[in-house]
A = this chain, B = another copy of it.
Amino acid sequence: MNIRYVIRQLGLLCIVLSLVMLAVAFAAALIWDKSTGPARHPFWAFLASACLGSLLGGVMWYASQPDSKTLGRREALLLTALSWLVGAALSGLPFYLWTVLGSATGHRFSQPINCYFEAMSGLTTTGATTLIGIEQLPHTLLLWRATTQWLGGLGIVVLFVAVLPGLGMVGKRMYSAEMAGPDKEGITPQIHETAQVLWLIYLGLTVAETVALRLAGMTWFDAVCHTFATMATGGFSTRDSSVGGYEPLSVTIIIIVFMVLAGVNFGLYFQLIHGRLRAIWNDVELRAYLAILLVASAVVVVSIADEAIVMTDGRQYEPGWGRAIRDGVFTTVSLQTATGFCTADFDRWPFVAKAVLVMIMFVGGSAGSTAGGIKVIRVVVAFKVMASELERAFRPNVVRPIKVGNATVTPELRQGTIAFVLGWILLFGAGTGALMVFEPVGAMDMTTAATASITCLSNVGPGLAKVGAVENFAWLSAPSKLALCLLMVTGRLGVFAILVLLHPRFWRSR
């Protein structure tokens, strides 16, 4: 285990994060948080955090002179895991320092665990928050919150691959880890150029959505923050009522479109640029992804058509198809892509709607997108494997190849995929149990525990009941929050990425 090289790269990450932090603080201070006095506190908090971060990063960088620059698979996995675990600590620091500088002892960010939770929720593009009164937060903090999501969405890893061309093999390996799904053809070769193209695509979509939201009536600030959260399928908003606070239908539609786009395999945009439309049309995962979105939306819309819709800001609408379609589709897209924006309080919806929403939380978006969950392609393969197992019960000697498009799924991948799905469900169960145990008797119910567990594991954001659309995660105990942080990073990196660190053989050379 080339641990020195891991630490060195981690140091680099801290420096890069600090620089971004600084840029955000300067931008916000120049444009939005112009007043002096208490409003300046966030700027100093960010300056101090950035200094601390780059100092720490510099020490890690210079102190770890690696024997070689080879980064094996184990090193890559360790680095990925530590990037998120350490990155969240650094990203949460300015939240905490802001309360210290401003002597805001009563604020939720005065508890370090809340800052860590918020930063982890940001970097993993989850969007679960411990905050209430989000509107009163200085613009600097809100922008940083959104930026952590945007960074997480692109993947600190892809950032590393794009920004630092000197890593060679690392790029390829970490990239495939970030892809978190069966490889797509045409993505892996020339990883460096590909990563740069992806970065530009991400940037292009970001600019497009920001302009669209501005034209739809949002302020530039809200447009930027919501775009960051959309493209990352994160879900942090600048308001307590989330997207429910914005009246125009155009805002809802724009965000729906870009959530769907963010949940598509980014490799397909690569194909699009190269004009390979047939490849896109034939993509099994894209078809399945859109089909699930369509069917789930239809079921949700029909099941709430007779219900009064209560918005996240308390407004209430009479039952009707208009609102049912608008909020049903928005919520379905938001939860399947694991964005987690809310317009209506779906916790009040009938059981069928909630059951469908929880199911699609498990499914998630496409592999190679910023979306969370098990991922559509895995669900498709898992279904095919289960069907073939069923057939084996009565035709043990018939071996039928399992195909996804033109590619045959290897036996290793078959086993790997259902192991992944089983692992996801077991982690969901373990998370639910942990929350029940960590909270005092009577404070936690099964629905809350179960949906908090899956919403964090699948990087969605809101759950049901006490962690529903109009609730937040502040009331949970510190152990519960830590457990949820672990679920978020485990889910973000694909079940095995964190668990491997617990495998005894991971630390042995053989």
Task: Give the residues in chain B near A135, CB-CB below 8 Å.
Answer: none
Asked whether A189 is an interface residue with its Cβ less than 8 Å from the other chain, the reply is no
Choice from B392, B395, B419, B503 contacting A416 with Cβ under 8 Å: B392
Asked whether A350 is an interface residue with its Cβ less than 8 Å from the other chain, the reply is yes
Choice from B73, B391, B445 contacting A503 with Cβ under 8 Å: B391
Alpha-carbon separation in the docked complex, A130 to B422 (Å): 34
Task: Name which residue of chain B comes closest to A362, CB basis.
Answer: B429
Alpha-carbon separation in the docked complex, A433 to B113 (Å): 35
Which of A6-14, A16-24, A381-389 sits within the interface?
Answer: A381-389
Q: Is there an interface contact between B423 and A505, defined as CB atoms closer than 8 Å? A: no
B-contacting residues, A393-435, CB 8 Å: 393-396, 411-412, 414-416, 418-423, 425-426, 433
Asked whether A277 is an interface residue with its Cβ less than 8 Å from the other chain, the reply is no
Choice from B386, B396, B446, B503 contacting A423 with Cβ under 8 Å: B386
Task: Name which residue of chain B comes closest to A77, CB basis.
Answer: B394
Asked whether A352 is an interface residue with its Cβ less than 8 Å from the other chain, the reply is yes
Alpha-carbon separation in the docked complex, A437 to B416 (Å): 33
B-contacting residues, A450-498, CB 8 Å: 450, 496-497
Q: Is there an interface contact between A436 and B355, defined as CB atoms closer than 8 Å? A: yes
Task: Give the residues in chain B near A74, CB-CB below 8 Å.
Answer: 394-395
Minimum C-beta distance from A206 to chain B (A):
32
Q: Is there an interface contact between B423 and A393, defined as CB atoms closer than 8 Å? A: no
Given the interface contacts A386-B422, A441-B350, does A506 sit within 8 Å of B415 by beta carbon?
A: no
Task: Give the residues in chain B near A425, CB-CB below 8 Å.
Answer: 422, 425
Alpha-carbon separation in the docked complex, A200 to B425 (Å): 42
Choice from B392, B394, B436, B450 contacting A446 with Cβ under 8 Å: B450
Task: Give the residues in chain B near A382, CB-CB below 8 Å.
Answer: 422
Task: Give the residues in chain B near A393, CB-CB below 8 Å.
Answer: 73, 77, 496-497, 500
Alpha-carbon separation in the docked complex, A446 to B352 (Å): 13
Alpha-carbon separation in the docked complex, A411 to B505 (Å): 22
Task: Name which residue of chain B comes closest to A447, CB basis.
Answer: B446
Asked whether A273 is an interface residue with its Cβ less than 8 Å from the other chain, the reply is no
Alpha-carbon separation in the docked complex, A496 to B355 (Å): 25
Alpha-carbon separation in the docked complex, A503 to B505 (Å): 41
Given the interface contacts A350-B441, A395-B73, A425-B425, does A503 sit within 8 Å of B418 by beta carbon?
A: no
Task: Name which residue of chain B comes closest to A356, CB basis.
Answer: B433
Asked whether A390 is an interface residue with its Cβ less than 8 Å from the other chain, the reply is yes
Choice from B351, B437, B500 contacting A437 with Cβ under 8 Å: B351
Task: Name which residue of chain B comes closest to A75, CB basis.
Answer: B394
Asked whether A499 is an interface residue with its Cβ less than 8 Å from the other chain, the reply is yes
Q: Is there an interface contact between A419 and B386, defined as CB atoms closer than 8 Å? A: yes
Copies of this chain present in the complex amount to 2
Task: Give the residues in chain B near A419, CB-CB below 8 Å.
Answer: 385-386, 389, 418
Alpha-carbon separation in the docked complex, A415 to B385 (Å): 9
Q: Is there an interface contact between B355 and A433, defined as CB atoms closer than 8 Å? A: yes
Task: Name which residue of chain B comes closest to A74, CB basis.
Answer: B394
Task: Give the residues in chain B near A436, CB-CB below 8 Å.
Answer: 351, 355
Task: Give the residues in chain B near A499, CB-CB below 8 Å.
Answer: 390
Task: Give the residues in chain B near A441, CB-CB below 8 Å.
Answer: 350-351
Task: Name which residue of chain B comes closest to A351, CB basis.
Answer: B436
Task: Name which residue of chain B comes closest to A420, CB basis.
Answer: B389
Task: Give the residues in chain B near A390, CB-CB below 8 Å.
Answer: 496, 499-500, 503
Task: Give the residues in chain B near A433, CB-CB below 8 Å.
Answer: 355
Alpha-carbon separation in the docked complex, A393 to B382 (Å): 18
Minimum C-beta distance from A295 to chain B (A):
16
Most buried by B among A386, A390, A416, A436: A390
Q: Is there an interface contact between B394 and A506, defined as CB atoms closer than 8 Å? A: yes
Task: Give the residues in chain B near A421, CB-CB below 8 Å.
Answer: 422
Q: Is there an interface contact between A73 and B394, defined as CB atoms closer than 8 Å? A: yes
Task: Give the residues in chain B near A505, CB-CB below 8 Å.
Answer: 391, 395
Residues of A within 8 A of B (CB): 73-74, 77, 350-352, 355, 382, 385-387, 389-396, 411-412, 414-416, 418-423, 425-426, 433, 436-437, 441, 445-447, 450, 496-497, 499-500, 503, 505-506
Which 3 A-B residue pairs are closest in the complex by CB-CB distance?
A389-B419, A393-B496, A74-B394
Could you jot down 11 A-B contacts, CB within 8 Å? Answer: A73-B394, A77-B393, A382-B422, A389-B416, A389-B423, A390-B496, A390-B499, A391-B500, A394-B506, A411-B415, A422-B422
User: Given A77-B393, A389-B416, A425-B425, 12 other A-B contacts at CB below 8 A?
Assistant: A77-B394, A351-B436, A382-B422, A386-B423, A387-B503, A393-B500, A411-B411, A414-B415, A415-B415, A418-B419, A421-B422, A445-B446
